[in-house]
Structure 1
Amino acid sequence: MKIITPLLGLFLALSALACKETPKTETTTQKEVETVASEYHIPNSWIQKRVEDANKRLHATDAGKVLWSAMEAHGGLEKWYSNGYFSFHFDYKPLNGKGIRDSYQTIDTWSNKARHNSITDPSNTYGWDGEEAWVKAKDSTSFEYDTKFWALTPLYFSGQPFVLDGEGVNLELLPEVEFKGTLQKVVKATYDAGVGSAPDDYYILYINSKTNLVDAFKYIVSYPEYFPEGGHAPEKITVTQGTTTVDGIVLAKGFKTYWSAEAKDGLGEYITDINVSDISFSPTVTDNFFSKPEGAKVLND
């Protein structure tokens, strides 16, 4: 994709903010952990503990073993976290022209914090600091979509299968299916009550039996602010459109999303094209990078 001038400006601005130094050696004292956290470093000891816990938990079930194999094929959970902060341009384009969402974002994959900048005007920004959603924009037309909901949504596309490593995720191994001529291992992920902003969501991953890469996944949107009386949107299926390897992690270069249907490969109407580009990792970001900037509006009730 051709990089437009505002995006280049954004990259320069973010590059000026980001520190590229090697993370400091950690100890386990509370004081030092707090200092590390305030500087947005992820201690190696934390990473090792999280990976070990995930490995133990996932290998306790057949579904977990399949998911772990997918993580290994995509570069490994330890590498995913050790690489640091995950940045990418996510261009989400519904084919009906409504609800286009185009931003460059940096994600704290450890604690699911996020900061987005508009591609058309990088001074328009929004994010999630772990407790509050915030937005700073010139006017109401800058982001004509729910930025609170969208702050972490792209991670659940581009971060598969790693985003399913945590506690509160329930895995079920479903029967294998053939998808686009290849046998797929199928793992369904659901969430414990109270986990995340939409615990009724689910994901059904199609994991290629030959490569162990995620070829596609089905999902629903049950975000309570969209469905205050309960329920969810119809199921969709998202199909990976090529991969690239960045710092040892295999990532999708894009996706095509369809309504799920009783048709060949389960693909109904093609509804959304997603392009993912300018992918990078950084070992650290500046202090308060994910915090709301001066003049930002808090979106939480």
Structure 2
Amino acid sequence: MRLHYKFSVLVLFAFILSCKETPKADQDLVDKEVVETNVISIPKSWVDARVNKAKEKLGASEAGKIVWNAMEAHGGLAKWYANGPISFRFNYQPLNGKTPRDSYQTVDTWSNRAVHTSATDSTAHFGWTGEQAWVKAKDSTDFAYDTKFWALTPLYFYGQPFVLNGEGVNLELLSEKTYKEQKQDVVKVTFDAGTGDAPDDYYILYFSKDSHKLAAIRYIVSYPEYFKDGGHAPEKFMEVVGEHTVNGILFPTSYKTHWLTKNEKPGEHITQIDVSDVSFENNLPKDFFDVPSDAKILNE
């Protein structure tokens, strides 16, 4: 499900979870507190208010406390927002020969806007402005997949657990599991009706009881454009692999997606995802996420 319409998701990936929305910056705060510049910026008061609201909400339940502890273990929600927009290469490779998705992308974590550039053609782009999906490519084969859906999907894998603090998100504590010989706290994520593109999606997240770090993600994909008659794909199991710290935020280096077996274990390895070229961008021009003049609008 995607919150770039309203979640404020993991996602991420055909595991391809749909995205959820991070609340947009309060425009009054922006107008009053941000000195006029030519770069994208956000007032510190917005970050503080957003973090305090998330901490209060998550602290009201045992499942929420586990998610908050995971955010802290991964560098902290305040640091996540203070760092600004994030750039990374997300190389999604199905092992059955189906369409790969490989792009460099920059995502505004404050208001969920994104611009992707093809890893094989630097002139081919697509994106999401917060209201419009667009694509700019010489050939339709440059992006042989649903770019509107994919615009924020990688963030809702790579941005875990920080993307779990939005509106319409419900957290449920499940029984603990043992994964790779370690005890795991398990939290199920569901969404209110009308939240995002695919409110019937769910995620089941494994957090190490010792380190509080995210270890694995189970999920389904129910995006209506993929399942026009309803329903969803079989549940999958995504293994979180490696560690890499950028500007104080801990990220994985890759993911391995498997079919989930009947005994709730990872089965056949079906997708390999590698993430690289990670950085935070704090000098982007204000029009960076706007629709290019010669781009095609996808949702009109």
TM-score by length of structure 2 reads 0.87
CA distance in structure 2 between the aligned counterparts of 1:224 and 1:38, rounded to whole angstroms:
39
Q: Is the 8 A contact 2:30 2:42 kept in 1?
A: no
Higher mean C-alpha deviation, range 51-60 or range 227-236: 227-236
Deviations 1:72-110 (A, max 9, x none): 000000000000011100000000121200000001111
The residue type paired with residue 253 of structure 2 is: K
Kindly name which structure, 1 or 2, has the bigger radius of gyration based on alpha carbons.
Answer: 1
- Equivalent residue number for residue 92 of structure 2: 92
CA shift, 1:37, in A, is: 10
The residue type paired with residue 273 of structure 2 is: I
Alignment pair present for 1:114 and 2:89:
no
- Equivalent residue number for residue 215 of structure 2: 215
Q: Is the 8 A contact 1:91 1:274 kept in 2?
A: yes
- Equivalent residue number for residue 290 of structure 2: 291
- Equivalent residue number for residue 60 of structure 2: 60
Q: Is the 8 A contact 1:84 1:283 kept in 2?
A: yes
Alignment pair present for 1:246 and 2:246:
yes
The residue type paired with residue 251 of structure 1 is: F
Alignment pair present for 1:282 and 2:291:
no
Cα pair distance change 1:179/1:286, threshold 3 Å: same
SS in 1 for 2:45: helix
Q: Is the 8 A contact 1:85 1:284 kept in 2?
A: no
The residue type paired with residue 270 of structure 1 is: H
CA distance in structure 2 between the aligned counterparts of 1:269 and 1:287, rounded to whole angstroms:
44
SS in 1 for 2:66: helix
CA distance in structure 2 between the aligned counterparts of 1:243 and 1:37, rounded to whole angstroms:
35
CA shift, 1:39, in A, is: 4.6
- Equivalent residue number for residue 231 of structure 1: 231
CA distance in structure 2 between the aligned counterparts of 1:61 and 1:107, rounded to whole angstroms:
30
The residue type paired with residue 132 of structure 2 is: E
SS in 1 for 2:141: coil
- Equivalent residue number for residue 256 of structure 1: 256
TM-score by length of structure 1 reads 0.87
CA shift, 1:227, in A, is: 1.5
The residue type paired with residue 107 of structure 2 is: I
The residue type paired with residue 182 of structure 1 is: Q
Aligned-CA RMSD value: 1.9
- Equivalent residue number for residue 166 of structure 1: 166
Deviations 1:257-300 (A, max 9, x none): 0011124x611211000000010112241111111112101110
Cα pair distance change 1:88/1:59, threshold 3 Å: same
Deviations 1:216-251 (A, max 9, x none): 011111111111222111111111110101000000
CA distance in structure 2 between the aligned counterparts of 1:168 and 1:27, rounded to whole angstroms:
22
Structure 1 residue runs of 5 or longer lacking an equivalent are 1-25
Cα pair distance change 1:177/1:50, threshold 3 Å: same
Cα pair distance change 1:80/1:87, threshold 3 Å: same
Cα pair distance change 1:38/1:134, threshold 3 Å: farther
The residue type paired with residue 206 of structure 2 is: Y
CA distance in structure 2 between the aligned counterparts of 1:29 and 1:112, rounded to whole angstroms:
18
Cα pair distance change 1:296/1:35, threshold 3 Å: farther
Cα pair distance change 1:298/1:27, threshold 3 Å: closer
CA distance in structure 1 between the aligned counterparts of 2:189 and 2:229, rounded to whole angstroms:
23
CA distance in structure 1 between the aligned counterparts of 2:27 and 2:91, rounded to whole angstroms:
40
SS in 2 for 1:49: helix
Cα pair distance change 1:97/1:69, threshold 3 Å: same
SS in 1 for 2:91: strand
CA shift, 1:30, in A, is: 6.7
CA distance in structure 1 between the aligned counterparts of 2:140 and 2:27, rounded to whole angstroms:
46
| Percent identity of equivalent pairs | 56
SS in 1 for 2:273: strand
Q: Is the 8 A contact 1:254 1:275 kept in 2?
A: yes
CA distance in structure 2 between the aligned counterparts of 1:198 and 1:159, rounded to whole angstroms:
18
Q: Is the 8 A contact 1:36 1:42 kept in 2?
A: no
CA distance in structure 1 between the aligned counterparts of 2:29 and 2:143, rounded to whole angstroms:
42
